[in-house]
Each structure stands twice: as C-alpha cells, then as structure tokens.
Structure 1
Amino acid sequence: MWRERGKTTPVHPTEIRTTISPSSAVQLNTTSALANYATEKMSFRVVRSSKFRHVYGAALKREQCFDNIRVSKSSWDSTFCAVNPKFLAIIVESAGGGAFVVLPLNKVGRIAADHPLVGGHKGPVLDIAWCPHNDNVIASGSEDCVVKVWQIPDSGISRTLTEPIVDLLYHQRRVGLVLWHPTAQNVLLTAGSDNQVVLWNVGTGDVILHLDCHPDIVYSASWNWDGSKLLTTCKDKKMRIINPHTGEVEEEAVCHEGSKATRAIYLKSGLIFTTGFSKMSERQYSLRAPEHLSQPVVMVELDTSNGVMFPLYDPDTNLVFLCGKGDSVVRYFEITPEPPFVHYINTFQTPDPQRGIGMMPKRGCDVNSCEISRFYRLNNSGLCQVITFTVPRKEVVVVVVVVVVVVAVVAVVAVAAAAAAAALL
C-alpha cells in the first residue's frame, strides 16, 4: 500500500490536482468504488482501461467548413453558436439591431456577405438555442429585453427573417441566457440581467413560473437528465439547485471563490461538474454531489488564462469537453465512478484562438465512422471550423500494431543480412 510505504498516491502528470479527501469521496455514495477509495484499498494500474482512451480530434479541410462569417464582437460570455442535425446558427455583427445567421449544414464554403439573416431584434443578440424537440425552431435572447422564437424552413432562409412565431415579454433588462427543457415540449427557460429566471410556455406565450431567488446576474443554467431539477450559477459565486415546479431552492453553495463567471452542468449520473476561477484567478474545474455541494469531491487547477471555460457534455460516452473563450485548445476528460473520477484524456490543439463553439447533438454524428462528437468552432478570422472526435476502430489499432511489428522484423532482417554480407567480404 502507498500509505504503508510512506508515499503519496500518484496523480496524472499532466494535471495539477488538489487533494481529494476520502471523506468527500465517500459522500458521493454512488458506487462501491467510492467506498473503496475512502478506505484506500484501490489497486494501482499503470494504464487505465477505457474505451475512450484513444479518442482523437481532427479538423476538416477549410473547404468543408464555413468561412467569411462576421462573428459577433460582443463581450458577453456566450458560445455565440448553436447547431443541430439540420442547421448551424451563429450570432453575427449587424447594423441597426441584433441578428444571427442560419445555414444548412450542407452549405459549406465561403458565405456571401449579403446572406439573409434572422434579424428582428433591436439590440445585439446574446444567446441562441435550438429546440431539442423540433429542429426547425430556435430561440434567441437579446439586449432589447425580448426573447423571440423563430420557425426556420427546411430549405433554410432565402430572405431576411424579421417576424418570429412568438415574442416573450417579461424581462426588464437584457436577456443573456435561453435554454430549452430536455423532456417537456414548448418549455423554455430564460434569464436576464434583471436577476430573474423565467419558465415559459412557448405554445401560448405565457409565463409558467418566475424565479427571483438570485441576488445578481445568472451566469448559467442546466437541467438534470429528466428535467426535474434546475441548476444555476450566479454572480454572487453561488450555485443553486432549484425545484422547477415550486421554485424552491433545495441546495446552495459557493461554486468557485473567484469573481469571474462560473459554469455548472448536470451529468447523467446526477453529479455536478463546474468550471470557474480561484481567488488567485486560476482556472478550475470540480466534481460535486448534489447532496454535498459545498464539499467538492474533485477540485483541479488547470492554468492561469482568463477566458471563461464552457463545459460541453456528452452523456452517451460520459466525456466532458472544456472549451475556453480565447483558448486555442479543447481539453477532454472522462467521468468515471472510479478515483480520481475525472480522467484527463487528451488535448486538441489549434493555431487560432476560439471566439465561440457549438456542439452537435448525437443525432447528427456520423456513427458509421465511429464519430462520437462534432464541434463547430468560431475563430476571430471569420472561419467556423468543424472538428470531429472519433474512437479508432479496434481493427485499425490491430493493423497498425501488426504493421509496426512487420517493419521492425524487416529492419532486423536487413541489418542481419548486411552484417552477413560484410563478413563474407
């Protein structure tokens, strides 16, 4: 045992990991592995067994991406991009109000400067979100305090669209967050700088519930797997678990000590993954149990960059992708029930910093080529770069190993033959 020999438990060399307290780990009580870790009776493996250990990212060629896009220059902490299996939507710079462009996924290449826009807002658009139940419906929030819901034709838009199917009026200040309910159709969440969170019935345009439990701006919101709980982060540094039926705050705790924006998402298992900053402005991520929000099971410091990190989650593979605003890298991790619970896998590196990013739902991935995730990454140069993440086939790995072995054998035989020829001479 490591403790018996007077040594500390080894950690991954690529991460700066803070101490994971056994008492915090056991509070998760989701699997027996946590209890094993609390008693320090886990076995140490040099190579961890995982189906996703060899996942790699690759950028498509420029002609397969979207170019000449005037990405919004707003300083609002948003992804500026939303994608579904039919369309790609990007918030753009527009004179005389806010707008975003909607492109069919097959319309790649250079986008015309006069391409039609969705432009009914009187102020800059801050956030957009596709409806998970209808690929032709998208919601937008703006600085004009209005939330609009739009219907996009199957063929895309051929002229500038200014008439939404419904206007949602309630907020008194800019609306910076729109989020659809994962299971209930026509239910939309919005949050504004008036510190209000509102649940809407989009079909009727009526308010279902408004939450005034936040003393400051709401940075992010996330539904759990079945939509029965709501998780929010706020400028007061706290995260809150809210019952969306009653509006009651069931749990709350400090998310991260830093004063910059924080993000939190629900995982499929019910655990909570957060990103934020320390008091020294170091970027962090953490993993927590809903019953013990104030005691992180894992807290890791990544670097000292100042860009807000957006956690993008794939529930099918349990992978979390960290994409920081202004970063030129995408880090990805696997969440497991075994310690240390958040496993670093790899980093995808690009030469240009990113301004925004959108994640394709699993319905739009090419599963025949073992693609597990696809991202649409916005650059300052106006390029929307398409990045695919793929799990290599087992047969490919075997072939590569066989080829390496054959090459090594041929090299050894060649050296031996050369030595024999030299001896004869």
Structure 2
Amino acid sequence: MSRRVVRQSKFRHVFGQAGKAEQTYEDIRVSKVTWDSSFCAVNPKFLAIIVEAGGGGAFIVLPLAKTGRVDKNHPTVNGHTAPVLDIDWCPHNDSVIASASEDTTIMVWQIPDYTPVRNITEPIVTLEGHSKRVGILSWHPTARNVLLSAGGDNVIIIWNVGTGEMLLSLDDMHPDVIHSVCWNSNGSLLSTTCKDKTLRVIDPRKGQVVAVSQTVLLSRTL
C-alpha cells in the first residue's frame, strides 16, 4: 500500500489583510492606454500615477502621508501632447521625476513639497531623440543626472539630464520592440528583453552585447 506524501506549505497559516480605508487612495482615473507598464511610481515622499487626460498626457503626484479620496480637480503634471507611457523617480532626488510619452519625448519635472493649486506644465528639461513613442525609463543607479530611455524605434538612449544632451545611442542591438530594461547594481551593465524572445546583457561604455540568452524572462538584478 503506497502512502501519499503531501508537502506542507510554509505559507499555510499566512492570511492576507485588506488595507484600511484611511490608508488607501480613491477615485483615481488611472490611464487606460494599452502599454506594458505599471502606470505608477513611488519613492519615500510621493506616489505618482499616470491618469486619463484629454488632449495630451498627464500624471498626478500624491504625498504618501495624505491618503483618502482624491479630488477630481487635483492638479496634474501635464506637458506631453500624447499619453504618458512610463514614469520614474530619480533615485538621487526625491523631488525629481521623468516621464515618457507617445509624443516621442521625455520630460523631467521638479515636484514641490507642497501641493500645487495649478497644473504643473513646465518641465525642467525636454529630451528629444526618439523617432517613435517612448515607453521605458530608468535612472542610472549610481551616476547623477543619467537617464535611460527606450522606445518603439528599438533604440536605447542614455541622456545627461543636467545638460539635456544625448550621451549614447544604442541603435543596432534590437531587431524588434524592447520590452524591458534593467541596470545592474552599479550601473556598469544593463539587461534588456525584446520581442524576439532574447535577453541581452549590454556594456553601454563599450556599446556591445556581452551576453545573450534565448528567454522571455528578465531578472530585476544581474
């Protein structure tokens, strides 16, 4: 007589708990644009969420300390002429955030510590270099003012945000749409996944692919 062994889960006594109403945000019109993005970004001070906007693209910024129902007229960060596809907070300055849009531009914004009474419409800098929509942003983890962007043109661009200049353009490494990009911990390498189901590890200083793997998964760290 065979005896069936059932492996016990260490999570069998772990139960989820719904967040309290006073710890949540309500009535946010999250963007319905079809794009592989989380549509939000958070840092120690703020929560930013891409929202529906007529005639352009916008996102809202909410203090972490102030939860509850969000006023429908809450000021937005609004400067793009087409929907915003990605946002990313600067790791070196909790008041700086970058946004990427279908209008092919990247904009970098300074967010005040107080809640503004009007929409924020003037970015610190506008970065132009992509020929198609920009859907991926990632700040360099250790170097200040260095921002990576990737777009529907299959190109990765690394920018100096302080001067607004393009530092590097990686043009011929991806034959199809780039799905995701991730820096390693010190920013010496970056990894990408592409629609061709290939993971690439790139040395941006050399402008070379240093490793390739036929996979559709991307680890958050190298």
TM-score, normalization: structure 1?
A: 0.49
**What does the per-residue CA deviation read over 1:23-47, in whole Å, with 9 as the maximum and x for residues that have no partner?**
xxxxxxxxxxxxxxxxxxxxxxxx7
Q: Which residue of 2 aligns with 1:225?
A: 185
**Alpha-carbon distance in structure 1 between the residues aligned to 2:182 and 2:69:** 34
Question: Please, what is the CA RMSD of the aligned residues?
Answer: 2.1
Q: Which residue of 2 aligns with 1:200?
A: 159
Q: Which structure 2 residues correspond to residues 21-420 of structure 1 after superposition, within 5 A?
A: 57-212=16-171, 213-256=173-216, 263-267=217-221, 270=222
Higher helix share: 1
Structure 1 unmatched ranges of 5 or more? 1-9, 15-46, 257-262, 271-425
CA contact under 8 A between 1:91 and 1:101: conserved in structure 2?
yes
Greater Rg by CA: 1
Q: Taking structure 1 as reference, are residues 99 and 133 closer, same or farther at Cα in structure 2, changes over 3 Å only?
A: same
Q: Which residue of 2 aligns with 1:4?
A: none
**What does the per-residue CA deviation read over 1:94-132, in whole Å, with 9 as the maximum and x for residues that have no partner?**
101000000111221111111100010000000000001
Secondary structure, in 3 states, of the residue corresponding to 1:171? coil
Question: 1:56: Cα distance to partner?
Answer: 6.5
How many residue pairs align between the two structures? Answer: 217
Q: Taking structure 1 as reference, are residues 193 and 87 closer, same or farther at Cα in structure 2, changes over 3 Å only?
A: same
Question: 1:74: Cα distance to partner?
Answer: 0.9
CA contact under 8 A between 1:102 and 1:157: conserved in structure 2?
no
Q: Percent same amino acid at aligned positions?
A: 58
**What does the per-residue CA deviation read over 1:288-344, in whole Å, with 9 as the maximum and x for residues that have no partner?**
xxxxxxxxxxxxxxxxxxxxxxxxxxxxxxxxxxxxxxxxxxxxxxxxxxxxxxxxx
CA contact under 8 A between 1:98 and 1:125: conserved in structure 2?
yes
Secondary structure, in 3 states, of the residue corresponding to 1:63? helix
Opposite residue 57 of structure 2, the aligned amino acid is: G
**Alpha-carbon distance in structure 2 between the residues aligned to 1:151 and 1:160:** 13
**What does the per-residue CA deviation read over 1:252-284, in whole Å, with 9 as the maximum and x for residues that have no partner?**
12113xxxxxx51343xx4xxxxxxxxxxxxxx
Higher relative contact order (CA 8 A, sep 6+): 1
